[in-house]
Each structure stands twice: as structure tokens, then as C-alpha cells.
Chain A
Amino acid sequence: MLKDITFGQYFPGQSLLHRLDPRTKILLSLIFIVILFVAKTPIAFLLMILLTAVFVEMSKIPFGTIFKGIRAVLILLLFTAAINLFLTKGQGTPLLEFWVIKIYAEGIWRAVIMAVRVVLLILISGLFLTYTTTPIALTDGIESLLSPLKKIRIPVHEFAMMITIALRFIPTLIEETDRVISAQKARGADFSSGGLIKRARALIPILVPLLVSSIKHAEDLATAMECRCYRGGDGRTRMVKLTYRTRDFLMLLFVLAIGASVFVLNHYIPILLPDLYYF
């Protein structure tokens, strides 16, 4: 059950994506997201799908594993798609009409495009930021990118450390949730019947133990960190220093070029839905 969630887990490997500097990967994800929301032509979307497929292939991570990450947000995805499908008012005649629901061509387009955007967004950010990047590298990257903010006294190091630890404990908490659910089920807890309030109440026996054990983890870990001489970012050195290499520049250049072409495509190819801009 919960063990199936793979989102937020690093898959060790030596692919090009694994070896990119984490800062590059953060920037790439951001650029990619911008492109996704700027793109308006079908060709641009095809290009983005193709590009994602190339990245997935490059990462050497099994397809099934990556798609599991999507399964977790499938319901959200279907919900947004349905809203777009049913609530979009087109200009022509509806393609389908029953009861109060009218489905227009624009609605279908919008639902499809929205779904593609969300799926690609999850795939790319998952691929760049979690599957091929260790959480420590990721937070190092964030810390390094945000380090100019230290000058205005924003606690960048502490922020980065918080994220590292949160990520470190995801698998532990998933395991624990599984265990608490099993233990309460063994005591006859019923999570699947009754109305909304009854079901919400049924969660208490799961949430309280999880909260208590999270606090315990936090306390113990804080003690363990202090024992290992941790006292914040000052005076701390790092074993691995981040360095940009040629491959980082090339990759950034490549994705930027794609971004530029998507932008150009928007101007030279007839746009299907002008108001897609506003989403």
C-alpha cells in the first residue's frame, strides 16, 4: 500500500542526469516549468513530451517506477481534467450535450493540455529533483543558489538543513504509518465505513501515534546531531563541493534553446486557444 509510493526517493545511478550539478537541475526544472506554461501550440507540447521521454530514457530509471509517482496524484489530475472538460464554454456548438453538461472542443483541448502539463511537471521535477539527485545534493544546490540571501540575514543554511532532514525521514514515516495502520487494524479499527465525521475520527488512532513518534524522532535526531558537533552553518565545511562543468552549461544551453523555439512557435504557428495564456 503506502510502500508503493516512490515519490521523493533517490535512485542511485551514474547517468548524465545523475552527474549534473544539482544547481543545474534546479534551474532546468524551473526553466522547463516556465516553458510548459508558455507553450501554446500542439507542436510545442509534442516537443516537450518528446524531451521528457528523452530525459526519462537518459536517467535509466525504470519507466514503471517513474509513473508510480503520477499514480499518487491521479485523482487530482482527473479532477482538474473533468473541471476543464465540463466547465469550459466554447464558441461553436457543443460536441456533446446531456442534462446540464455541454462539452465543447475547447473543453477537450483544455483538459488534455492541462493534464499534459501536470504530468510533465511531475515527471520532470521528480526526475531532476528527486530520482536522480540525492536530497543532500538538492539542498546543497538550493543553499548555494539562495546564498546571496544570507547577506540580508535570511537563514538559508537552516532552511536547507530542514529540507534535508524532512526528506531523510520520508521513508521512515511511510514505514511507520504502515505499521500504525496495521496495529490499529489488528485492534479492530475500521477506517472504511461510516460518514465523513466517523471516518475523520477513525484517523485519530493513526495521527496521534505518528505525531508522537515524529516528535521523538526530532528530539533524538537533534541530540544526535549536537553530539556530532553540529552548531549550524558557521564554520562548517563540506566534503563535496559543487562545481559547474561543461555538461552543465551544455544542458542549460540545450533546454534554453528549446524554450526559445517554443516561444518562436507561439508566434508563427496558429494558436488553438488564445486564452490558454491565462492558465
Chain B
Amino acid sequence: MSEFIRAEDLSFAYEEDAPKVHPALDRISLSVDSGEYVAVLGHNGSGKSTFAKLLNVILTPSDGRLYVDGKEITPDFSDEETVFDVRRRVGMIFQNPDNQLVATIVEEDVAFGPENLGLPREEIRRRVDMALDAVGMREFAHHAPHHLSGGQKQRIAIAGVLAMKPACMVFDESTAMLDPRGRSEVMSAIEKMNREENITVLHITHYMDEAARADRVIVINDGKIFMDGTPKEVFSRVDELRSVGLEVPQGTELLHALRADGFELPADLIRPDECIDCLAEYLEKHSKNGGASV
């Protein structure tokens, strides 16, 4: 697979902070391949949102190198055409659904991006219908967004980005303001973008259960990469995660506690069903042994 994002010693400092505090991003290096589904974890203020903003040229690097889709984003990156190109390739979905919908009718909002690309009318129409179908919101095409639920609004925002046919979507805590139903709607949409539309996904979140569903988890702490690996690798390091104010899925936490009690259980199970299977098997065996010894 080809590389889509590459950061080398990438740093970013907000100007007002410069003299006193350490930078928001401190010499991070990483690369993300096309088609990957990456979750980015970290507590508030860890620098994870700053990273997202760099990918979309809302901010530009203070130091180091950043390549998006083969283009280098330099500190003085301001050439309008190249910014436009990068933004067309990398779509962004934000936290507050209300602050990213421009139009008062769903389909006109989805059309906003393609219209900015200057596409012909028939093509815009086609893309809007395709995008609304993909997020399951076609029947709401003529509704006003402010009557929709939070989850539905976020799906409209996703459709609005999808209609621009990006190669990558960045979700900047897009589930943080939603109720459980809205979260699960948006999570399904995100996974669909990755699996069916073959879009590279960066999902920034502080919900562990969401991160556990990605192919890869990057943990950012104090502007540095703290961990980077598969969900199993990352979540098995329970104590380290806790030390930076993060949690692990409850099943993993239970196994971790039982291991401390002397049980021989694996550390890298993260899904509830895996935990049930493993524990049930272990306990059955254990009780049979116990029974036999009596």
C-alpha cells in the first residue's frame, strides 16, 4: 500500500504559548498508508486535534516535515491552489455538528463542497445522491438540518465530505457530542467509509471502545507519540495508559485485574465476546480441576 501521510520530526507551537510551554506537537514522526483505519487517542490538550488541523492546512507546521498525498506542507504553505488540492483530498468532520452545516436544506448542504470544486451541475447532483445514499440519509434530502438528531447531522456532514470524493477523512472528535445512538450511527458510517469507499480514516476520539474498532491506535500524550500499534497491543498496556489519564475497555481491565490476582489470562483481549469466551473457558477448566481434586 502506498503512503498517504508522512510526518518527520513534525512540531507545532501555538504562537501565544511559544515562550513558556512546550509545543502542542513535539517532533513526532509517523506514516499512515492509504486505506488504513487509524484511531488517535489522547486526553484533552494532548495535541491530537492539532495534528488533525495540520493535515487539512488549517494550521501549518512550525518545524519538521509533513507530506500529505505526496505533497509537502511547509510552514509558509499558502499557495492557494495547493491548499485547495490538499483540502480536496483530505476531508474533515468536526465535533459540533451545528457549526459545520452551511445550508438550511440537507441536500444543498451536501452540495456545498462539490459546488466549491466547480463541478458541472449533473455531476454535483450525482455525487449528492450517492453521498446521501452512502450514509443512509437520502430520505432526509429535503429536510432542514436543525430538525435532525445529532447523529443524523454528523452523517450529513460526512456525506458533504464524501461528495467531494476525498482520499482521506479526518474525524476530529466527531462523536463527542452525541448520545449512544448517534455515536453508533456515526461509527457505522465511519467504518463504511473505510471499508466500502476505501477512504483512509483518522478517527480522533477519547472513547476507548471506538478506538478498539480501528486497525491501528496511536496514543498521543504531551505532543508526543506515546504508543502506536494494533488495538490489542495498545490496550494490553493498561498501567501505561492509565498513567496518561486514559482507560481501557472494561473487559481488558477485568482480565488485567485478574492477572494481578494470579490468574493465567491473556492481556490482549479487547472485545467483550472475546473476554467472555476466554474467561468462561478458563473458569470451567479451573472448576473442573478444583472438582477433581476433592
Chain A residues near B (Cβ < 8 Å): 9-10, 12, 134-136, 164-165, 167-168, 171-172, 216-217, 220-221, 223-231, 235-241
Contacts and interface: CB of A to CB of B under 8 A. Distances in A.
B99 A220 contact: yes
A239 B104 contact: no
B4 interface: no
B123 to A, nearest CB: 9
B91 A227 contact: yes
Contacts of B87: 226-229
B164 interface: yes
Contacts of A223: 58, 94
B112 A230 contact: yes
Given A12-B144, A172-B146, A221-B102, A227 B92 contact: yes
A229 B104 contact: no
Given A168-B102, A225-B102, A230-B112, 13 more contacts: A134-B105, A164-B102, A164-B104, A165-B102, A167-B104, A221-B102, A224-B102, A226-B58, A229-B113, A229-B164, A231-B116, A239-B107, A239-B115
Contacts of A225: 102, 112
Nearest to A223: B58
30 contacts: A10-B104, A12-B143, A136-B108, A164-B104, A165-B102, A168-B102, A171-B146, A172-B146, A216-B99, A217-B99, A220-B94, A220-B96, A221-B99, A221-B102, A224-B92, A224-B100, A225-B102, A225-B112, A227-B91, A228-B113, A229-B88, A230-B116, A237-B115, A237-B119, A237-B124, A238-B111, A238-B115, A239-B107, A239-B111, A239-B114
Contacts of B164: 228-229
B4 to A, nearest CB: 17
A237 B121 contact: yes
Contacts of A227: 56, 58, 87, 91-92
B103 A136 contact: yes
A236 B116 contact: yes
Find the residue from A225, A226, A230, A237 having the highest chain B CB count within 10 A. Answer: A237
Interface of B: 56, 58, 80, 84, 87-88, 91-92, 94, 96, 98-105, 107-108, 111-121, 124-125, 128, 142-144, 146, 160-161, 164
Nearest to B117: A229
Contacts of A240: 108, 121
Contacts of A236: 115-116, 118
B177 to A, nearest CB: 12
Contacts of B116: 228-231, 235-236
Q: What are the 6 closest A-B residue pairs judged by CB atoms, nearest first?
A: A220-B99, A224-B100, A239-B111, A229-B116, A228-B113, A239-B124
Nearest to B98: A172
A135 B109 CA distance: 12
B108 A221 contact: no
A229 B92 CA distance: 11
Contacts of B143: 12
Contacts of B119: 237
Given A12-B143, A228-B112, A221 B103 contact: no
B253 to A, nearest CB: 35
B108 A224 contact: no
A168 B125 contact: no
B104 to A, nearest CB: 5
A241 B121 contact: yes
Contacts of A235: 116, 118
A96 to B, nearest CB: 49
A7 to B, nearest CB: 14
B103 A168 contact: yes
Contacts of B91: 227-228
A9 B147 CA distance: 12
A239 B160 CA distance: 13
